[in-house]
Structure 1
Amino acid sequence: MLIIDLKHPRKPLLPPFEAGSHVDVHLPEGKVRQYSLCGDPTELGRYTIAVKRESDGRGGSAWIHETVAAGSTLPISAPRNHFALKPGEGPILLLAGGIGITPILAMARALTRQAKPFHLHYFTRSRALTPLLPAIESDLPVGNVQLHFDDEPATREDIAALLANRLADAQTYYCGPPGFMAAVGRAAEHWPEGTVHFETFQPAGLDGAPPEPFIIELREGRVVEVSAQTTALAALRAAGVPLLASCENGVCGTCECGMLGGQPIHRDSILSKDARGHRFIACVSRATGVLKLDL
């Protein structure tokens, strides 16, 4: 695990951010990767990110581990937040698996500072391989944190049992690797809409259906054809619609746009069930027939 503090070469203070925010890190050859800000939002002299080297990843983490050192220059975006804490006074349940602790730690720090009720459950393979453990032990109240290690049976916790009984007004936030995300998602299916929030680092698996051509109708009535071989994002850009994008894997939300009608095929990893009725992620999602977008 590589912990990186990012500072501006000239300005003493960076733009403010809230817990759950991430930045885009621009790498060589046009690669862009998103990393959650795991530092304290009150410390605006630096941004802190944690990068785990993924041996089967797309090369971004390996490049960072092999190349970045003290004094290196990394172009990054301003912070963006698609995983913000929602208003409310009820208890907060925070669940993290492995490197998924990065946005969750920032949330726990914010809730500690605000004196709001929360409990953090952190699942990792072993104590020795637990990312950011020193920060957790030094910055968070002991009674608000439970650590669960695969190699320490006494610390293990069943996720389904943990989420079985929801306290009144409770909300849960979770982040972690695919298996962990799937387990929490299943365990929280009975929680009311709008009380379960998550962020994922990897794109959702495809539904297995072969891509079919469809049509996008823009707000003013102009029509954009999307072939089976291209994405909605690429087709819109080719038609002159200046839609921003970053990850192009359906995990960052940069290309999110309003949807006015149609039958979308959602393949992103960020929109909630409610948002899928009126929002669309153009880089990965598709549609059947005519899709009307608020563009």
Structure 2
Amino acid sequence: MASPRIIMKLTVTAARKEPGDVLVIDLKHARKPLLPPFEPGSHVDVHLPDRKVRQYSLCGDPTDLSRYTIAVKRENVGRGGSAWIHEAVAVGCTLPVSAPRNHFPLAQREGTTLLLAGGIGITPILAMARALKRQGKPYELHYFTRSRALTPLLSVVERELDYSTVWLHFDDEPKTRQDLKSLLSTRSSDAQLYYCGPPGLMTAVDRATEHWPEGTVHSEAFQPPQQDGAPPEPFTITLRDGTVVPVAADTSALAALRAAGVLLMASCENGICGTCECGILEGQPIHRDAVLSKEARTHRFIPCVSRATGVLRLDL
């Protein structure tokens, strides 16, 4: 996979509205027939005016590298990126886009894969379902939305995936509703779960899978997790060379590191993209990101949102 630091100028070759206030965009390179390869679960950084950077999952076919496809839900309460895309992006315009990277990979394992998506969370899940179908591996896709009329990419799901592997759950259709707790209460011994969606769904699945074995549950969040409300405390970062970087209560670790002259790449600065990830050598981190797995949290750190108790020694 190409380095995510590569920035390509891609041309919008198609832009269509989908239910749920979603804009689906196809992007191609003006000179190169093939774009860098990507795996299911990958996303790209889209660079917007005013130095804004937003991350969007690639929901197209990983075997079709002539284009990238992203789907952008307009968020009326947000940081303005989705609104700009909906208002300004049209066929023929160009967007600076990074090479793909993947914090939500589909493991190559035997057994059944359970896919859960809520609303716009279908974007990485759709790419996974396509791959599993192509590989002939067993899977189930459960897609939760408010109503059929507001379900983005529904026509794609119904057209490209096998009817017997897809369950659609609409809040306004009692016959299609599914209780997550009962759905996830039991699992086959070889099952793997992948899920993505709004905070309510993410929290419900987290709670319903507490009994699942470690390493069998995988997720991607589009919003940072809700914090406990406790006020942040100051702490100290030390670097490999012994440099001491104090982090005030009202300052992020990323901002403090930058002020100390540490050149650290960052993108979302919201704990959901993983660009600023670095290693932990010693200390007790307070993780507040939506990127790192349970295992990764033992030795990795997301400084744009996460903090620490006392002194944290980083591999920087």
With the shorter chain as reference, the TM-score category is over 0.9
Matched letter for residue 154 of structure 1? K
What is the correspondence of 1:47-196 to structure 2 with a 5 Å cutoff?
A: 47-196=68-217
Would you say 1:252 and 2:273 are equivalent positions?
yes
Matched letter for residue 276 of structure 2? C
d(CA) in 2 for partners of 1:292 and 1:169? 38
d(CA) in 2 for partners of 1:259 and 1:47? 34
1:290 maps to what in 2? Answer: 311
Instruction: Give the superposed CA RMSD.
Output: 1.0
Matched letter for residue 153 of structure 2? L
2:255 maps to what in 1? Answer: 234
CA distances 1:48-86 after superposition (whole Å, capped 9, x unpaired): 001111111221111111110100111111111000011
CA distances 1:113-140 after superposition (whole Å, capped 9, x unpaired): 1111110000011111111111111111
The CA deviation at 1:206 is 2.3
d(CA) in 2 for partners of 1:54 and 1:210? 27
Q: Which runs of 5+ in 2 are unaligned?
A: 1-21
Would you say 1:25 and 2:46 are equivalent positions?
yes
Matched letter for residue 187 of structure 1? A
d(CA) in 2 for partners of 1:261 and 1:88? 33
2:226 maps to what in 1? Answer: 205
* TM-score, reference length from structure 1: 0.98
The CA deviation at 1:216 is 0.9
Describe the SS at the equivalent of 1:182. Answer: helix
Describe the SS at the equivalent of 2:94. Answer: coil
The CA deviation at 1:87 is 2.6
1:222 maps to what in 2? Answer: 243
d(CA) in 2 for partners of 1:233 and 1:62? 27
Describe the SS at the equivalent of 2:95. Answer: coil
d(CA) in 1 for partners of 2:94 and 2:285? 41
Describe the SS at the equivalent of 1:74. Answer: strand
d(CA) in 1 for partners of 2:252 and 2:173? 46
Structure with more strand by fraction: 2
Would you say 1:37 and 2:37 are equivalent positions?
no
CA distances 1:173-215 after superposition (whole Å, capped 9, x unpaired): 0000111111111111111111100000011222222222211
Choose 187-196 or 209-218, whichever is displaced more. 209-218
Identity of aligned pairs, percent? 76
Which residue of the other structure, out of 29, 34, 54, is the alignment partner of 1:8?
29
CA distances 1:243-267 after superposition (whole Å, capped 9, x unpaired): 1110000001111111111111111
The CA deviation at 1:170 is 0.8
Matched letter for residue 107 of structure 2? K
d(CA) in 2 for partners of 1:263 and 1:215? 11
Which residue of the other structure, out of 235, 258, 264, is the alignment partner of 2:285?
264
Matched letter for residue 81 of structure 1? N
Matched letter for residue 237 of structure 2? I
* TM-score, reference length from structure 2: 0.91
The CA deviation at 1:143 is 0.9
d(CA) in 2 for partners of 1:222 and 1:54? 41
